[in-house]
Structure 1
Amino acid sequence: MDYLRNLGSALVQKSGLNLPFTLGQKVLSFEGLYSLYDAVKREDGSNVSVFEYDLSDSTRPNFKAFAQNALKKLRTIRHPDVLKFIDAVESDTSIFIMTERVQPLSNALPTWISRSSQEREEWLLWGLHRVSVALTFLNDSCTSTHGRICMQSIFISPSGEWKLGGFELLSNIKDDTAILYNLGGAFPSSFAWASPEVKKGSWSSLKQYDSVALDSYALGLLLHSVFNPNHAAPETSLPPHPPPTAASRGSIPASMFNAYKRLLNPNPKNRLNPKGFLDLGMVDTGFFAANRLVKVCSGLESFSIASEAEKNFLLKTLKESASSFPSEFTTHKVLPSLVSALEFGGASAATMLPLVIQFGKNLPPEDYPKAIITPLIKLYASPDRGTRMALLDNLPEYADKLDKKTVSEKLFPHLQTGFTDTVAVIREATTKSIDLLAPKFTDRILNNDLLRLLAKMQMDPEPSIRTNTCILIGRLGPTLGYNTKRKVLVPAFTRALKDSFVHARVAGLMAFMATIDCFEAEDIATKVLPNVTFTLIDKEKLVRDQAFKAIELFVKKLEEYAKTMVFPQLF
């Protein structure tokens, strides 16, 4: 229904449906049963996918049953590895199912051809792991048979995660009238994944066997098709169903080949089931357990309850191996998990934040504020000192992405609490951060609120903080308002000249010199020099040397000014 795109998914004229999405490009069509579209959710503008089931063909009455079953099952079954249902719209001629944004596995596979063989194998193993987890959940927890495990029932999220969909034949094994038993053979191309017992008998014959027998066999066929997409179906899929030979392994990992053969056992009683396949892969040296993507995902999912040692090990792995992970994995899977974990704070924050910023560099510029800046700004309200210190230490990496409104209205109210923190390193880091943020402060903050805070910092117990505060005021001087300069700078620098810490006194002299253009000649003669001259006989040579340089600079400026003065003529 291409006309839907032209209408912007407003009012579908033929059906009278007011759709909660705007259809975009058609991604694929499957056997006349449904079409998959990229779409945008009208409520919030987020990217979604829409499956449109066309029920208008009266010669295909079974299609309505397939579509209704898919909607019913997808709406009620929730699992991280199952395609996420969002909304649906039904009419007599169509069913629209809105889900998270995905693309078909069949479309995604060719894009991995250009990747390295190791990267591609890791991604395929990770995907099969997620499918096995989802299938085990359906078989065991939901006491159901999926009935359609194949390339067309797997979808890929923006993070590269595999999501199990295709619920048109999903059936509860306790239901003798289930759609799988009665209409399985009527589903388009169902013979392609049918198990030997189905081909020998019928779909209803599945009632005689273990409920997972069909899914087990189909999982084996899926494994073959993703690792060997250009190969024909294995010979074992056709009578007399010979076992796969070593020569037919193709690109299937050797560590997985025996399990693969057991999935394709023609005898359903001896066939390896999805849970058994998953368990084999997750033993210490199993083909799933050894996969880096599986390890990282497992670590991220349990991060909040992990020990500090476990957290540090995961973060070390991410730091050392991040560049070798698929970019979509780090950007859309790892990055959101780390941002979420940052909310818990703790000692790991100092390690996590640089990773968040590193992975955020791969984001499109339009996504960066929402994905990175917004969560980081919220973290400034955290009472956890580890988190606050990490934010301040890494400020140079994201300061240029902050806008003036965000800094003044959302960041500064929380940042200013750092000036009065009982921990000196927080106070010092807060002081140093102002240099990066000052250009984005409002005039009121810069000329009033901030200077009051800095005046208190000049009396801090820590000598280094007093020194850095004086240096900071010197750098801020040229940006202050005219009246503020005349009122604040001389008292601030003079206070530093009387500090007991030698480097604070030197900083005061250097600040006077750095802001020489902020003073008018009259102020230099009547305010600056009188407050500086006593340092010419400071007990520390370092201060005396700097004092003579400062006096020389100011006197030279006064000499230049004096040359411009107009003297009255004498008659």
Structure 2
Amino acid sequence: MDFLKSAVASAIAKGTGQPFSLGDRVDIGDSVWALHNGTKRDDGSACSVFSFDINANKSRLPLAKNAVRKFRTLRHPGVIKVLDTIERLTFWQTETNLYIVTERIVPLSWPVKRRSLNEETAKWGLYTVASTLKFINEDASSVHGAVRASSVFTSESGEWKLGGFEILSSMKEDDAIIYTYGSIMPDAARFTPPEVVKGGWDTIKRHPLAAVDAYGLGILIFEVFNGNFAGGDQVGKTTNIPPSMQQSYKRLCTANPKLRLSPGHFVEQGKKHGGFFQTPLIRMTEDIDSLGLKTDAEREEFVNELDELSEDFPEDFFKMKVLPELLKSVEFGGGGPKVLSATLKIGSKLSADEFNAKLTPVVVRLFGNPDRALRVCLLDNLPSMIDNLPQKVVNDKIFPQMTSGFTDVAPVVREQTVKAVLTIINKLNDRIVNGELLKFLARTANDEQPGIRTNTTICLGRIAKNLGQSTRSKVLIAAFTRALRDPFAHARVAGLLALSATIDVFTEDDCAAKILPAICPSLLDKEKLIRDQANKTLDLYVQRVRKHANTMTDTVIPPTAPTEAKPDVRVATPNESSWAGWAISSFTNKVAAANGEIEPTANGSKPSDPETARSASVPRPAKSSPSTQLDLPKQVLRPTAQPLNRSMSDRPAPPVHSPEPEEDGDDVFDAWGAMDDDEGDEDPFTAAVSSPKPTSPAPSSTAAPKVPYDDGGEPDFAGWLAAKNQTKAKNPLPKGLTKAASTNTVATRSSAASTTKPRTVVAPKKIDTKPKNEEIDDDWGDAWD
């Protein structure tokens, strides 16, 4: 039968006429009420429902009706907030159930039995209950009469709320319910004061009004710190009671009601300087409601106390009570960045749904605030918020407002904005990352502040995987190689580290052609830190390039058919004894051809080279006939003069060092650079290999060997001077000497033609004396003209 009545009551409560729907039943022990979790139908918010079955508990119906009446009339922050009270009637118009709809609450007996309350939270809750009893006793002139753990509940904000108003009575009423029904309260014998046990509830008229509630407050203190209250013999024991509270606690539990400390005096003693109610949590609770009216100094003091709170304080209180007040202070009361930091610290403990409902709209509005201090604070705390921010909100609302930070005048704003990119990069879509974001990072990469340039390089290295494949390699190579040339040492280190971290992003061709040449100058950096890192980075890229090279084919040239005629060209192969064997062979072939053309002389005159000129004094194996020697100057001297000079110029001569080449010979790198940079100049190596072919000597009709005239071993000093003058004629500056030399040559040839004696061919001796004449000095002037 009881089951049927309960089912009918539940069905009635779930009917369409009720403003709530009942949920699970909550265990509150021995009570006249049944507590259910409920949901309001109008907005879907959570609530709690006290349900009383009239037919099942008719003897306690006056207690239930008294509780309904007191909940309607008694309003205080420490009292359970009542949303609605309902008396439900059946279709027979008879009373069946009473309902009290309140805010969502949880019995305090749950954490008390588990002993899960820390000391600071327990003091904070006891302070709330004692302050509420003070209001009931002094302001309402009433007696609660049933103060115990089962009469206290905790709200969603973690605050302690006082309930259990079944025998709450005003002492101004002669027929107060406490006198008649106080003894039928559940488990009354265990919690009744000793004077009531002896003389009944009427005795409270002869004692102080707050004596009964003071005794119940003492029992509640014992329950909170010990977990359970067995009976009257435990009253007044100080087991687990904080030392600072023990003396006041004993006065609450004294057997003489006239000596008991009232709840109001208990609060006053705890609030004294150094008292047991002087805690950061209690001070914050009192100040939070007036935060918007405080001065800057008072607000800063409040935030400092908020930061000092430990992590074991009730999180629900911060979410439900502190957070809304902080948001109001930040957005409208000028709370500043310090209040914002405390707000976001609390917001990090919210769920995603709670965060989006309470914090996201405020955060979006604050990003548009021109206050730089607030913007920097938001950017600093962005890591704690980003997981709760939807991607659409970040792309459409937050990032567009962040972009002004990349170009802000204040360097700290630009730097924090660059750092914040790492936080929001996973929330941005590809269009923003590869478009707007890269444009802004290109600006900060060239920022005047070296720290911002360094952080931009680090940022690019860490977001490389988020960049598009079409732009990733090009952007990163340009950014990192630029960083390697940065005058700031840490920026160069950042570039090397970024290259090491993103080695997998680049192709092997980019590694070999673009990155390795850019790293090499850092090997000789003035900073040892950079040199060391450059060696590490270089090794990574060299190993990758070598590994890829081992997988490549030996050649891409297709094999030729075996029947084709192959030109006789010397090609380098791996079997060559030297890496440049083909070049050396080609060069020696040309030199050998030149030597073969120069060695046969057409007349008896000595070559202009000093060594060949002096070879006339060396004994020769055979001598030609005099007739042959006399005929040589006439027949061969003039036609073979020009080919002889050209062949001698082609033949390698002993090096003649002039002063200017000696000065330039020290700088080897400049010489290689000149060869590479001057495109119009002829490559000296090419010029040496491909020299002009000398004119072949005229064929001789006689077969006699052409041997120079033997002067009997006498040193040919005039020939040596002629060769020396001819060597000096190669200097481009003294043009007059070239002109004089050509004149002397003509004179020598004419004198040789006018005589038939062999000894008269001494033209070099005449040339030696002419440069000393004054006529040659005039020729110098003519040559410069």
- Alignment partner of 1:94 out of 79, 92, 97: 97
- Alignment partner of 1:277 out of 266, 273, 293: 266
User: Which residue in the other structure is 1:368 paired with?
Assistant: 351
- Alignment partner of 1:154 out of 135, 149, 152: 152
User: Which residue in the other structure is 2:438 paired with?
Assistant: 451
Q: Output the CA distance in 1 between the equivalents of 2:398 and 2:3.
A: 47
User: Which residue in the other structure is 2:316 paired with?
Assistant: 332
Deviation of 1:331 (Å): 2.8
Q: Secondary structure at the match of 1:168?
A: coil
Check conservation: 1:533, 1:547, Cα contact below 8 A: no
Q: Identity of counterpart residues, as a percentage?
A: 36
Deviation of 1:167 (Å): 2.0
**Greater mean deviation of Cα atoms: 444-453 or 226-235:** 226-235
Render the CA deviation track for 1:332-355: whole Å, top value 9, x for unaligned.
234656644653353535874796
Q: Output the CA distance in 2 between the equivalents of 1:508 and 1:269.
A: 82
**Inter-CA distance 6–217: structure 2 relative to 1 (3 Å threshold):** closer
Q: Output the CA distance in 2 between the equivalents of 1:11 and 1:391.
A: 51
User: Which residue in the other structure is 1:104 paired with?
Assistant: 107
Q: Output the CA distance in 2 between the equivalents of 1:476 and 1:389.
A: 22
Q: Secondary structure at the match of 1:169?
A: coil
User: Which residue in the other structure is 1:364 paired with?
Assistant: none
After TM superposition, list the pairs within 5 Å mapping 1:176-255 onto structure 2. Answer: 179-180=177-178, 183-184=181-182, 187-188=185-186, 211-224=209-222, 226=224, 229-234=228-233, 252=241, 255=244
Mapped pair 1:287 → 2:286: no
Deviation of 1:165 (Å): 0.7
Q: Output the CA distance in 2 between the equivalents of 1:339 and 1:296.
A: 12
Deviation of 1:311 (Å): 3.4
Render the CA deviation track for 1:31-87: whole Å, top value 9, x for unaligned.
5x2112344556666654321111224843x61x43343234334544332223344
Gaps of 5+ in 1: 236-243, 361-366
Deviation of 1:438 (Å): 1.7
The residue type equivalent to 1:368 in the other structure is S
**Inter-CA distance 405–145: structure 2 relative to 1 (3 Å threshold):** same
The residue type equivalent to 1:471 in the other structure is I
Render the CA deviation track for 1:16-39: whole Å, top value 9, x for unaligned.
7535233113413545x2112344
**Inter-CA distance 145–473: structure 2 relative to 1 (3 Å threshold):** same
Gaps of 5+ in 2: 89-94, 562-785
After TM superposition, list the pairs within 5 Å mapping 1:487-502 onto structure 2. Answer: 488-489=475-476, 492=479, 496=483, 501=488
**Greater mean deviation of Cα atoms: 142-151 or 169-178:** 169-178
Check conservation: 2:380, 2:416, Cα contact below 8 A: yes
Q: Secondary structure at the match of 1:284?
A: coil
Q: Secondary structure at the match of 2:147?
A: coil
Check conservation: 2:148, 2:220, Cα contact below 8 A: yes
The two structures have a TM-score, normalised by structure 2, of 0.56
User: Which residue in the other structure is 2:302 paired with?
Assistant: 311
Q: Output the CA distance in 2 between the equivalents of 1:250 and 1:426.
A: 56
Q: Secondary structure at the match of 1:82?
A: coil
Render the CA deviation track for 1:506-529: whole Å, top value 9, x for unaligned.
655765676565556787899x57
Check conservation: 2:71, 2:82, Cα contact below 8 A: yes
**Greater mean deviation of Cα atoms: 124-133 or 549-558:** 549-558
Report the count of equivalent residues.
Answer: 535
**Bigger relative contact order (CA 8 A; separation at least 6):** 1
User: Which residue in the other structure is 2:162 paired with?
Assistant: 164
User: Which residue in the other structure is 1:79 paired with?
Assistant: 76
Deviation of 1:385 (Å): 4.8
User: Which residue in the other structure is 1:24 paired with?
Assistant: 24
Render the CA deviation track for 1:232-255: whole Å, top value 9, x for unaligned.
2159xxxxxxxx8x8x55555565
**Greater mean deviation of Cα atoms: 203-212 or 273-282:** 203-212
Q: Secondary structure at the match of 1:66?
A: helix
**Inter-CA distance 494–188: structure 2 relative to 1 (3 Å threshold):** closer
Check conservation: 2:81, 2:103, Cα contact below 8 A: yes
User: Which residue in the other structure is 2:650 paired with?
Assistant: none
Deviation of 1:111 (Å): 0.6
The residue type equivalent to 1:80 in the other structure is P
**Inter-CA distance 21–435: structure 2 relative to 1 (3 Å threshold):** same
Deviation of 1:434 (Å): 1.8
**Greater mean deviation of Cα atoms: 455-464 or 308-317:** 308-317
User: Which residue in the other structure is 1:137 paired with?
Assistant: 135
Structure number with greater Rg is 2
- Alignment partner of 2:64 out of 48, 64, 67: 67
Deviation of 1:459 (Å): 3.7
Deviation of 1:502 (Å): 5.3
**Inter-CA distance 389–17: structure 2 relative to 1 (3 Å threshold):** same
Q: Secondary structure at the match of 2:451?
A: helix
Q: Output the CA distance in 2 between the equivalents of 1:120 and 1:84.
A: 25
Deviation of 1:368 (Å): 3.2
Q: Output the CA distance in 1 between the equivalents of 2:122 and 2:515.
A: 75
Q: Output the CA distance in 1 between the equivalents of 2:151 and 2:139.
A: 20
**Greater mean deviation of Cα atoms: 493-502 or 103-112:** 493-502
**Inter-CA distance 165–563: structure 2 relative to 1 (3 Å threshold):** same
